[in-house]
Structure 1
């Protein structure tokens, strides 16, 4: 398991264990927080999803942030 702190995910670097379509290195380009109810103040909101941007092709994909903890799929940093 990769140790992940949700508040430090933005712009973090990740390497996919298996290369697909020349996409191996990724950067977290966006962090998705839960939807707010109208008039409700959300304090210390938890991250739900992150958007990964491929460095080589600039393709983007949305994944659950906890998926990044799976070392069979992701390694932290660019290896």
Structure 2
């Protein structure tokens, strides 16, 4: 389990453990929050292709799929 503060996810760097289409390194480009400021989702952009994807921030806690930082 990756441990981090969800409010500090913006511009953080991540490495996919099982890269698809050579997309291994990602940057969190946007942190999507509700009206109270609670994080809900993140928008991540692949460094190689520039493709963006939005998903729940809790998925980044799964250390079998994601590593914090670029490895």
**TM-score after normalising by structure 2:** 0.95
Q: Which residue number corresponds to residue 77 of structure 1?
A: 69
Residues in 2 aligned to 1:56 and 1:66: alpha-carbon distance in whole angstroms: 24
Stretches of 4+ aligned residues off by more than 2 angstroms: none
Q: Is 2:10 the partner of 1:18?
A: no
Please list the CA deviations of residues 36-61 of structure 1 after superposition, one character each: whole Å capped at 9, or x if unmatched: 4xxxxx3xx21000000000000000
Residues in 1 aligned to 2:25 and 2:5: alpha-carbon distance in whole angstroms: 20
Residues in 1 aligned to 2:40 and 2:62: alpha-carbon distance in whole angstroms: 16
Q: CA RMSD in A?
A: 0.8
Q: Secondary structure at the match of 1:48?
A: strand
**TM-score after normalising by structure 1:** 0.86
Structure 2, unpaired ranges of 5+: none
- Higher strand share goes to which structure? 2
Number of residue pairs the alignment of both structures matches = 71
Residues in 1 aligned to 2:51 and 2:18: alpha-carbon distance in whole angstroms: 16
Structure 1, unpaired ranges of 5+: 37-41
